[in-house]
Structure 1
Amino acid sequence: MADNLPPPSPSTSTHHDSTTKVTDMDIDSLVHCASYLTLHDISNMVLSCKFLNRVVYSDTIWRRLYREQWPEQEPYIISQTSCASAREAYLGRYTDLQRFKFVDPLVYDVHMGIGAKCSDLMFSNNSILFSQGPVIKILSIDKLLEGKTSIVSLNDHRARITCMRLFPLKETSLFRNKAQRNESVLVTSSSDHSIRLWWKGSCQRCFRGHNGPVTILSDKLLGDGTGKVFASGGEDSTVRLWSMSSGGKRGGQHALKATLYGHEKPLVLMSVVKHKASLLASVSKDSKVRVWDTTISSDRSSCCVGMTCVPGVPVGIKCHDSLLYIAAGSSFVAVDLRTMKTAFKTSTRNQPKLFSFDILPSKFLACTGGVGRAMLWDIRRSTGTGDADPMAELDGHVGPVTHLHMDSYKVVSGGREDPYVSIWDADTGNQTNILRSSSNLNLDGGGCGCCGMAADGFRIVTAAYNGEECVVNFRDFNNAVFYGAFSDNVTGSKFWCPSTSGHDHAGDESDV
């Protein structure tokens, strides 16, 4: 009998036109699902719709994030927060840690012995990279946190290292599988006329072609898709393009793709144009600026698609969208790459010379380093071509401010004659901390101070040099508790920590 039944009608079909949406779930279920997401995913949920925005504000999610980020602080977490929500507690502590507002970070000094100063400091995952003369040194952070000092030295260069860059491994011929997608290769230039590519603690490529010391490398790779290249500049006044995909141990010998002529003096600065990855901006020692289209392959001199000149000695460069920002002399300039005309020029009163420059275009902020102070600028107010007032003066330094770092939370400033580095709120310019370049190196003599600096989230590394000895200092603020004198908050975490005394537990920074 069942075989004689008619086929089911559309109305009785197992297919349903209606579907269950995420918003059909109850909030408790969504909160439980969100507990498996990362902070980045949760931040995206906030922007998706009003319903999911309500889910994201659940205290359950933020208590879980708090415990995962700071497990050592878990004893301080209480079941109810009378002052604020768990979300505000998490974000408040996260922001304060980013701004180094605490006096009790983990602090480690690593003595590098008598010799050359350390420079080109940078973070790479759980390592600190820097150069010391012709030698690259890699300091393991994991070992440092275990109380051990593990330093790997790479010494194939035969003269001083002039520039160091990190590029994605996946853009090179060394990339093999998806497990390596977050790894990087190190590329270094040297006064020995060579460029070297390093990975897994050894030199994988050696690039030769410059007729003199190599002075600068591009800050990013050029090109889209496969076949990306990096650029170098040298004292021979040429710009050279090198393939990242050439294989084999001797692949560097065949990696030179082009030599671009036009500059008359040594190259000092380079930046890849963000909105068009085939464009490269370069600045020579005589302050001449050239923009190159690296996709043009007929005549290498015709690759230059724009030229201009800036007044004074160039100290910094950054491309963002269609604007090229250059700091030189006593001013920083924005050049429209579409016309090569000056969009604005901001001169600094009472500062005849700039020594450093950094910019955060996404927040319309720039910072310049002068003598005794740095200046924080709101780019939106810079529309003219004359003197202007900075939004904040970051003063109190000794000598020139030669080192600057900017991110969304903070500005870090220091100088080679100043034994201290200063931390400032990027939004307001208010000072949030002062850190000694080295905890135990004698820096009382003139001209002794910070010779290198890098910051990454809750971590900062500085190098101090007193004319003879160099010390690398590492600080990790992740589990810091006690607020410093520059903070308006009470000691410990405002919402999680029951302690209210701010000066009884000051760490090694308490007296600075």
Structure 2
Amino acid sequence: MADNHLSTSANHNSATKVTDMDIDSLVHCAGYLTLKDISNMAISCKFLNRVVYSDSVWRRLFRERWPQLEPYIKLQTSGLREAYLARYSALQQFKFVDPLDSNVYVEAKSSDLLLSKNSVILSQGPLVQIFSIDKLLEGKASFVSLNDHRARITSMRLFPLKETSLFRNETHINDNVLVTSSCDHSIRLWWKGSCQRCFRGHNGPVTVLSDKLLGDESAKVFASGGEDSTVRLWSLRSTGKRGQHALKATLYGHEKPIVFMSVTGHMASLIVSMSKDSKVRVWDASVSSCDRNSSCVGMTSVPGVPVGMKCHDSLLYIASGSSIGAVDLRTMKTAFRTSTNQEKLYSFDIMPSKFLACTGGLGRAMLWDIRKNGESRGAEPMAELDGHVGPVTHLHMDPYKIITAGTEDPHVGIWAADTGNQTNFLSCSPIDSSGCSAMAADGFRMVTAGYNQEYGALQFRDFNNAVCSGSLNEHVTGSKFWCPSTSGDGDESDS
């Protein structure tokens, strides 16, 4: 018995571990991994970190993502990881003068834009148009028109197809459905170029849709707010063209139209709504409402006209009047509120993972470090994003960049998210002196809409394969092959 135990122990101790392999073998294995897998390996232990820092690993990643830079790659003998990450960061910040771009003219002013995989989605009054990006880049304005709404579209959202009753097989596992709300009192769900569901229940125009789905995996719902001052919860798994039995709850308590909604980050069943009078309510979608008010689990209010709102973890960030602040959703206490020293705010976005917020004012936007702003009335911004004409009405923030635009400004500003330094200066449309009516960005891509009194236009740009790095001077000429920056800005992975 003792001999058997010793034998088993010896076999266990002699088992080969991953770290027993030589580095060359592990580097070869890493050649089959994705960038996300490699990033995870790098933080697992010091030994595997050495493996994934190998130039051969990053040479393969470089060739796969940017095969057109093969001459540059061959010239490099070391430092390919740093070169890859520097280029990735520079592309995300649009630091190039030669993106793939395409313009298309449209008949009316665009009020909202979305980017979805290979599609640009825009709304114009009651109409939705979906353009194929591949066709746009080929110079063909191929689009699908969705025209079932009878009044202006107020909100557009993309939700996973797999959460709906339309999902049938794994070939569509990554597809999204488009959900739109309208002043015609309806909400519509679109897929494959046609309306698949129509949800009705609001007693007036539907003003806003939730930014995400809420609830557990077995009962995902989305929320809507309306001019009837109600919040309504809808199931995406309902069947029937008219969305029968889709309405799961109607939540009462607001006295004015709903203007913003955001799903919380710390509990999947909580959603926050804000009405036109700056009253804020927190609702629990998992509570069955019997007395029409039991789902409300928190209330507060903020001073000034509401400008924007977004949840992150257990904090709710709000811009209203001329100030920004945060509310702790666990206690409903104000965590901080500070004046922006701007007479009026026109737009707001936040990147809580980096403790950064941005507010759009008249002629400029301001970048804020949330950690440095307590109850101070005169907090100092990190940077002023200056040079705009008129109010900055459109803002986009991601870990690499901030994009600012306005309805009276023919140009779009691109700024580094961590410093506020300007990285590019672009036209918003091919129409002379047109302001920006809508904007959307996703990674290396951006689409903007301009308009004048007669017609509108879309301008799509994709920086993924750009090679000529440039400056803010529109007449600068880039080098034949991209040369990595040594500034070292940007994150170290795209995972």
TM-score by length of 2: 0.93
Name the counterpart of 1:65: 61
Q: Which amino acid aligns with 1:229?
A: V
List alignment gaps of at least 5 residues for structure 2. Answer: 486-495
CA distance in 2, matches of 1:126, 1:39: 22
CA distance in 2, matches of 1:127, 1:312: 37
Q: 1:128 to 1:356 in 2, by over 3 A?
A: same
CA distance in 2, matches of 1:119, 1:32: 50
Name the counterpart of 2:50: 54
Q: What is the 5 A alignment of 1:62-461?
A: 62-81=58-77, 85-113=79-107, 115=108, 117-250=109-242, 252-297=243-288, 298-349=290-341, 351-438=342-429, 440-443=430-433, 448-461=434-447
Q: 1:385 to 1:257 in 2, by over 3 A?
A: farther
C-alpha offsets along residues 241-291 of structure 1, whole Å, 9 cap, x if unaligned?
1111111323x1321111111111111000011111111111111111111
Q: Secondary structure at the match of 1:164?
A: strand
Name the counterpart of 1:504: none
CA distance in 2, matches of 1:412, 1:44: 30
Q: 1:495 to 1:340 in 2, by over 3 A?
A: closer
Which of residues 40, 52, 75 in structure 1 aligns to 2:36?
40
CA distance in 2, matches of 1:260, 1:166: 23
Name the counterpart of 1:508: none
C-alpha offsets along residues 215-234 of structure 1, whole Å, 9 cap, x if unaligned?
00011111012111111111
Structure 1 residue 477 corresponds to structure 2 residue 468:
no
Q: Which amino acid aligns with 1:119?
A: S
Contact 1:452 1:462 in 2 (8 A): yes
CA distance in 1, matches of 2:408, 2:344: 16
Q: 1:219 to 1:9 in 2, by over 3 A?
A: closer
C-alpha offsets along residues 325-344 of structure 1, whole Å, 9 cap, x if unaligned?
11111011101112212110
Q: 1:233 to 1:29 in 2, by over 3 A?
A: same
CA distance in 2, matches of 1:396, 1:262: 43
Contact 1:165 1:188 in 2 (8 A): yes
Contact 1:208 1:253 in 2 (8 A): no
CA distance in 1, matches of 2:250, 2:30: 53
Q: 1:490 to 1:381 in 2, by over 3 A?
A: farther
Q: Which has the larger radius of gyration?
A: 1
Contact 1:197 1:204 in 2 (8 A): yes
CA distance in 2, matches of 1:294, 1:170: 20
Name the counterpart of 2:482: 493
* TM-superposed deviation, 1:145: 2.5
Q: Which runs of 4+ in 1 moved over 4 A?
A: 8-13, 486-490
Stretch of structure 1 that moved more, 265-274 or 288-297: 288-297
Q: 1:385 to 1:172 in 2, by over 3 A?
A: farther
Q: Secondary structure at the match of 2:11?
A: coil
CA distance in 1, matches of 2:192, 2:306: 35
Structure 1 residue 26 corresponds to structure 2 residue 18:
no
CA distance in 1, matches of 2:136, 2:27: 38
C-alpha offsets along residues 354-373 of structure 1, whole Å, 9 cap, x if unaligned?
01111111111111100100
Name the counterpart of 1:468: 454
Stretch of structure 1 that moved more, 93-102 or 480-489: 480-489
CA distance in 2, matches of 1:78, 1:361: 40
Q: Secondary structure at the match of 1:48?
A: coil
Contact 1:403 1:453 in 2 (8 A): yes
CA distance in 2, matches of 1:198, 1:419: 33
Q: Secondary structure at the match of 1:77?
A: helix
* TM-superposed deviation, 1:348: 1.3
Stretch of structure 1 that moved more, 153-162 or 286-295: 286-295
Q: Which amino acid aligns with 2:179?
A: V
Q: Secondary structure at the match of 1:68?
A: helix
Contact 1:315 1:354 in 2 (8 A): yes
Contact 2:97 2:478 in 1 (8 A): no
Q: 1:112 to 1:489 in 2, by over 3 A?
A: closer
TM-score by length of 1: 0.90
Q: Which amino acid aligns with 2:444?
A: F
CA distance in 2, matches of 1:334, 1:104: 40
Aligned length: 478
Q: Secondary structure at the match of 1:380?
A: helix
Give me the CA root mean square deviation: 2.0
